[in-house]
């Protein structure tokens, strides 16, 4: 059974588990004076928290795996479009990231040095493959399944919020929210979680690759032993430096945003979906809309038929429409705000 109430409760339990799990683990490590490395942190995060949460949800709720996780085939052309879409939105995500650093600390810059201590392909597995699979199943598949009665806009916003919440800090939350909402919309267009996995992997893999390439260039042309990770890990940019970066990235983003729009439009057309009016449609209706019709059919007519024939949509047991702002969702938001502010204060 799928419902907003269940989806919100799952978010609250998951965020609480993430925070208490991290605090408990940190306490144990500190008391035993263990030395943990980059590998341990990633494995615990992805397998012990994210992946385990997905498995637990499926086991406890006994939900059908394929339909709940949206494990449907994706067109080969859509794979290429998703890769291009990922590259074209990266400058915009960087703008949000830099903009946030005027107010909050970059919480991941300290991990850059640790990443470069390990082989590239191994790091790619930990930082790109694992997050792309497990985080998408957690914050996209499960949210979409429980919000199928809500509008496309609401589903995308909630999915983006949850994706931001699991990062447990304000800096990453801001660009993760935008990234998550967009990837949710792409999943609704393609009806496949694989599209979001591809975008997520491409963004993370590109960032990791650029870090390694930059480090190689610095090592090749620099007379000292200071590497890319050491520079990034030990230097907080000034507001003037952030302003310069922001202007450059903003111009860069303006060039790529039209490309992103065209790719998204191509994705809509290729999957026989229409953007106009789609954000107001129930999620389950939009996902099944125009599945067998031609792209030049009248949108209003298609929408009318879809709404009048809900049995044409893939059947799932769903409760009636409910209020989105249930107590668990409000508690989740409050928990994230309090915890992230504490992290920001202590960092």
The predicted-structure confidence for 112-152, as pLDDT tens digits, reads as follows: 667 888 899 999 999 999 999 999 999 999 999 999 999 99
* 236-283 confidence digits (pLDDT tens): 778 888 899 999 999 999 999 999 999 999 999 999 888 788 889 999
Beta carbons of 62 and 231 less than 8 angstroms apart: no
Beta carbons of 159 and 140 less than 8 angstroms apart: yes
E strands, 157-316, where? Answer: none
Strand partners of residue 139: none
CA atoms of 90 and 208, how far apart (whole Å): 13
Domain presence at residue 327: yes
Number of folded domains that form the chain: 1
pTM of the predicted structure, to 2 decimals: 0.87
CA atoms of 234 and 46, how far apart (whole Å): 26
Higher pLDDT, 209 or 296: 209
Higher pLDDT, 286 or 295: 286
What pLDDT is recorded for position 295? 42
Higher pLDDT, 297 or 44: 44
CA atoms of 260 and 268, how far apart (whole Å): 12
pLDDT-derived band at 303 (thresholds 50, 70, 90) equals low
Beta carbons of 18 and 49 less than 8 angstroms apart: yes
Beta carbons of 318 and 71 less than 8 angstroms apart: no
What pLDDT is recorded for position 224? 55
Domain presence at residue 54: yes
Domain presence at residue 56: yes
Q: How far is CA 74 from CA 134, 152, 232, 254, 287, in A?
A: 18, 20, 38, 29, 14
Least confident of 10-24, 28-42, 55-69, 163-177: 28-42
What pLDDT is recorded for position 116? 80
Domain presence at residue 323: yes
Domain presence at residue 15: yes
* 16-54 confidence digits (pLDDT tens): 999 999 999 989 988 888 888 888 889 999 999 999 999
What pLDDT is recorded for position 293? 43
Highest averaged pLDDT of the listed ranges 200-214, 218-232, 271-285:
200-214
| Closest C-alpha among 108, 320, 70 to residue 195 | 70
Query: How confident is the model over 195-219, as a mean pLDDT?
Result: 91
- Triad 135, 136, 141: Cα angle to 5°: 125
Query: How confident is the model over 317-333, as a mean pLDDT?
Result: 76
Q: What's the chain's average pLDDT?
A: 86
The domain in which residue 37 lies consists of 4-271+317-346
Higher pLDDT, 276 or 88: 88
Backbone angles phi, psi at 74, to 5 degrees: -125, 140
Domain presence at residue 287: no
Domain presence at residue 165: yes
Domain presence at residue 218: yes
61, pLDDT greater than 90 = yes
To the nearest whole percent, how much of the chain has pLDDT over 90? Answer: 62
What pLDDT is recorded for position 140? 96
Residues in the chain: 347
Least confident of 24-38, 158-172, 287-301: 287-301
């Amino acid at each position: 059974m799928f419902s907003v109430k269940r989806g919100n409760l799952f978010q609250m339990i998951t965020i609480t588990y993430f925070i208490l799990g991290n605090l408990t683990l940190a306490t144990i490590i500190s008391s035993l004076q263990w030395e943990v490395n980059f590998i341990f942190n990633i494995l615990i995060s992805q397998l012990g928290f994210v992946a385990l949460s997905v498995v637990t949800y499926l086991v406890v709720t006994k939900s059908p795996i394929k339909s709940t996780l949206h494990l449907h085939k994706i067109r080969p052309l859509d794979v290429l479009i998703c890769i291009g879409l990922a590259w074209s939105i990266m400058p915009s995500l960087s703008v949000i990231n830099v903009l946030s650093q005027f107010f909050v600390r970059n919480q991941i810059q300290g991990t850059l040095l640790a990443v470069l201590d390990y082989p590239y392909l191994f790091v790619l597995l930990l930082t790109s493959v694992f997050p792309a699979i497990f985080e998408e199943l957690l914050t996209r598949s499960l949210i979409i399944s429980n919000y199928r009665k809500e509008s496309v806009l609401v589903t995308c916003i909630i999915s983006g919020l949850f994706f931001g919440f699991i990062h447990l800090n304000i800096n990453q939350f801001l660009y993760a929210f935008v990234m998550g909402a967009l990837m949710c919309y792409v999943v609704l267009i393609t009806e496949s979680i694989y599209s979001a996995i591809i975008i997520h992997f491409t963004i993370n893999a590109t960032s990791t690759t650029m870090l390694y390439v930059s480090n190689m260039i610095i090592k090749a042309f620099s007379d000292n032993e200071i590497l890319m990770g050491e520079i990034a890990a030990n230097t907080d940019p000034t507001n003037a430096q952030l302003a310069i970066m922001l202007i450059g990235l903003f111009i860069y983003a303006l060039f790529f945003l039209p490309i992103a729009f065209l790719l998204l439009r191509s994705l809509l057309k290729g999957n026989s979906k229409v953007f106009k009016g789609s954000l107001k449609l129930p999620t389950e209706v939009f996902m099944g809309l125009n599945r067998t019709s031609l792209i030049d059919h009248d949108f209003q007519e298609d929408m009318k038929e879809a709404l009048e024939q809900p049995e044409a949509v893939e059947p799932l047991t769903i409760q009636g429409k409910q209020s989105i702002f249930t107590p668990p969702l409000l508690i989740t938001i409050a928990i994230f705000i309090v915890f992230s502010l504490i992290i920001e204060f202590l960092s």
